[in-house]
Structure 1
């Protein structure tokens, strides 16, 4: 297990900030204004007047170019509100209706297209599986997909639920919407949005694009690796749930229009925000590429965006006239860490800042009876868990040793309490529990990332039944299941990356790609399984017979 330093979260006193005092967000941003690192752009306005604007870090490290007011970022899913706006504008022009069925525009799709309306696509209630999840489950990079490939893949899928019955975020819905806009308008989404949204609002630095890095003033999106920061490719062959690039300053023009409703009118914005929405509960709603709800008791309209290398969020607080745009080209940075400090003064919030501070762990006073070598014997043995990790505990020359069986690493541990030990100099703690008849049955390990329990003489499940090859017709992919380092793992054929399938109970497993439910025939032999990702449920795989 990874050794990590002890960290203490120190909560600073609550501070009430005066109106328009931005010292808090300045303090948070200053961390990213040191060294040559990707950065952050923040813009805060009230009633259309920018009250705070700051850019920190680099837009392009290789070109030695820092972020400025003209710097563009990939909006990722923030783009969805513009796609939704195009649809509402076409409805106002009398060219479509939000009640139109999907089958009107995709007549060759299965019967379920007759049950899905445009408003279902807008609000993520269509039941259509997310093509990004499907491409991942196939072991593919979605950036390589064309419109034809997405259409062919979606045509053979079944719905995850009855349209309108529940919410499930789906980029597939917005892929359909872009295609509908282009079919109805006779123009590309790039041209239609430019003519009807960006140009009227004088958003000169905002556009849809297939190739973000070809656009002037565009920042590079960075992912940190062991070798440093690497540029994440962004070029795609289609536009679906993303596609817009913009600057924080440009985005304020859209947010100001959302607040004033002067250019597009109240009817447009009422359709966007207040009609045909889906109730998510707790006074939160999904409506046409946006989410509305309460933020510390204040009404908020917002949407965030995430793609490798970029994270974004835009917000409008209509009752206060406050609008916010926060963008970063650093994949390791969450834009939401700037959210509350940015708004603390304007919304009269109290901000509690968390500071990570390294401390030296003090040794506990010896208020226990030291364990003799004979008593240490009660801890000896092998301990394991369903994670596939095993420890061996032994006594040598009166010292208790813990050996990591997965890599052979070992270390002596010192006693800190009754049945409690730790690695000297490291904040990793061991406690032996459930001691019966002079034998410990459980080993509890605590370190900063959590607590883990290991069982004496633990045996991994018999994985033999699950081994083999499985085929999914709707994904057109084969999965291989095999044992690696004592764990049941799987991967799509031809893909190097493997995923662990952790058996929690008979024929039920969890994995990074979702839950797996294995199916047996009347004779008890496994015939396949169902894979359920949160955005693509109940995908059937059939076991491929072994041929001699």
Structure 2
């Protein structure tokens, strides 16, 4: 078996031998309230109307379906209701099937997870350091985000994007976000490349391979990877985005790429997958499923929290294995509590629906006091809250985070969800994100420090921006034309109505808001102008969460 290096192989073997407590174990989901289905229905009450999209939900206990139901409309034009048989685009839930295909090929001896990706995808540049297949799976490759690259190249979200398009933009890249293996940063391009590798190694398309080796053996008759966005999918729920006037707009992606996304499925089929993932039958699936459930290890030696296309973590003290999905108007979440033998799947077709939160509420119904109490919110004084608003910058990534006081609460600028105080300068944003504000220290002479933990164990570190705002003359010095060869695009920096704008074909202007010195923000983007040794503006860089310091040279 060429599945991995020996240490990882040992963890796989160990995982295969320990599949969790047997059915009927005190830790299983055996004791639940008799009215649990009524309580679940109440959770989905906001999505039960005839003029709204909604969700299908599936819940299994000890591997058997306990409840499945649909809420809302699968198609608002024809008033078709969502049912447990409705088919949804699962978004990033697809990643676990791509990772599993690679694990099966490794078990077949056709590749090793330690192989250099250029062995199979020679189109990719040589970055001076090897990127392994395992690093693609675990989001440690350092590759730039494919969607953001295409955006900078002038592609719109409703353009048809193919596997070849993604591979072409990747092959042009001459830089990485970070050295492979040194950090963990969620990345879709890695899973597009995994799909390419699976196809070149197996000699079959990924949809064909997955049907033959995954979906058909597990009885997932309503699940498939989509290759052509124009294909007919009987029973498909349409995706929707909320419009500013309160109505809904169709939001179905015109995407012909797959690997990071592309799987259409039902709640019933995903429950079959969850059972196989957590409790595989004796046989050939045990070792690759154990690999899927095993978290990668960061350079520090601590678990990264990401296995084979799934997050491996905890929720309120209980182990979980799960993943969310976001693509156009579809929002999805599938999670298993392996020690309690409980699995929950929520597939939704409205972009404003939060399926992970809905699944967590269902977990509270089924697991009750086995869930640890949520962290207690501490009321912060007005003086404490007043200390933290400002602009913070990361020297590592060049990201900018702005924090403001609005409606009596601390929140990210423009954000709708306030930060909740946990005491001592620690705040939470949702279930997983933590924001820690610290006072000035010797190590941070420039001002206060902000550390943000998202889904990964390593925080993003920011310091308060102290640089003065640019003068009118300095703003005028940024006007000009700039080019990024790696995306084959030229950008015009203009001054209109006293504001700088970045303009390029087929995209709306980025209106730049100054935050100090040569640094600006526009939505999720940070734009930092650079200077030559003599102080002349010679370029700028684009930075977003998954793309760092993409340089444009001044023409």
TM-score range, shorter chain: 0.7 to 0.9
Q: How far off its partner does 1:112 sit?
A: 2.4
2:172 maps to 1:156: yes
For residues 348-397 of structure 1, the C-alpha deviation after alignment (integer angstroms, 9 at most, x for no partner) is 257999xxxxxxxxxxxxxxxxxxxxxxxxxxxxxxx99xxxxxxxxxxx
- In the alignment, what sits opposite 1:252? 271
2:130 maps to 1:95: no
Distance in 2 (CA, whole Å) between partners of 1:459 and 1:103 is 45
- In the alignment, what sits opposite 2:491? 479
2:291 maps to 1:310: no
The one of 328, 332, 343 equivalent to 1:323 is 343
- In the alignment, what sits opposite 2:241? 223
Distance in 2 (CA, whole Å) between partners of 1:484 and 1:339 is 47
Distance in 2 (CA, whole Å) between partners of 1:538 and 1:90 is 36
- In the alignment, what sits opposite 1:271? 291
Distance in 2 (CA, whole Å) between partners of 1:61 and 1:244 is 22
Give unmatched runs, 5+ long, in structure 1.
1-15, 354-384, 387-426, 430-445, 452-457
2:205 maps to 1:188: yes
- In the alignment, what sits opposite 2:251? 232
The one of 215, 218, 222 equivalent to 1:205 is 222
TM-score, normalising length from structure 2? 0.73
User: As a proportion of its length, which structure holds more strand?
Assistant: 1
Q: Based on CA coordinates, which of the two structures has the bigger radius of gyration?
A: 1
Distance in 1 (CA, whole Å) between partners of 2:164 and 2:257 is 10
Distance in 2 (CA, whole Å) between partners of 1:35 and 1:203 is 29
Contact 1:278–1:285 (CA<8 Å) still a contact in 2?
Answer: no
Q: Aligned runs of 1:29-40 on 2, under 5 Å?
A: 29-40=44-55
Give unmatched runs, 5+ long, in structure 2.
1-30, 375-389, 392-405, 409-413, 420-468
Q: Aligned runs of 1:265-414 on 2, under 5 Å?
A: 265-274=285-294, 276-278=296-298, 285-349=305-369
Flag the 1:279–1:73 CA change in 2: closer, same or farther, 3 A.
farther
Distance in 2 (CA, whole Å) between partners of 1:283 and 1:96 is 24
SS at match of 1:125: coil
RMSD value over aligned CA atoms? Answer: 3.1
The one of 169, 175, 180 equivalent to 2:192 is 175
Flag the 1:90–1:254 CA change in 2: closer, same or farther, 3 A.
same
The range that moved more, 459-468 or 119-128, is 459-468
For residues 84-128 of structure 1, the C-alpha deviation after alignment (integer angstroms, 9 at most, x for no partner) is 000000111111111111121122432227601100010010111
**Alignment size in residue pairs:** 436
TM-score, normalising length from structure 1? 0.73
2:479 maps to 1:467: yes
Contact 2:240–2:252 (CA<8 Å) still a contact in 1?
Answer: no
Flag the 1:280–1:498 CA change in 2: closer, same or farther, 3 A.
farther
Flag the 1:108–1:265 CA change in 2: closer, same or farther, 3 A.
closer
SS at match of 1:107: coil
Flag the 1:448–1:339 CA change in 2: closer, same or farther, 3 A.
closer
For residues 310-341 of structure 1, the C-alpha deviation after alignment (integer angstroms, 9 at most, x for no partner) is 00011011100001100100111111231222
Q: How far off its partner does 1:266 sit?
A: 2.3
- In the alignment, what sits opposite 2:133? 118
SS at match of 2:50: coil
For residues 389-430 of structure 1, the C-alpha deviation after alignment (integer angstroms, 9 at most, x for no partner) is xxxxxxxxxxxxxxxxxxxxxxxxxxxxxxxxxxxxxx999x
SS at match of 2:198: helix
Flag the 1:58–1:282 CA change in 2: closer, same or farther, 3 A.
farther
Flag the 1:122–1:300 CA change in 2: closer, same or farther, 3 A.
same
2:523 maps to 1:512: yes
- In the alignment, what sits opposite 2:161? 145
The range that moved more, 83-92 or 267-276, is 267-276
Runs of 4+ in 1 over 4 A off after TM superposition: 275-284, 349-353, 446-451, 458-462
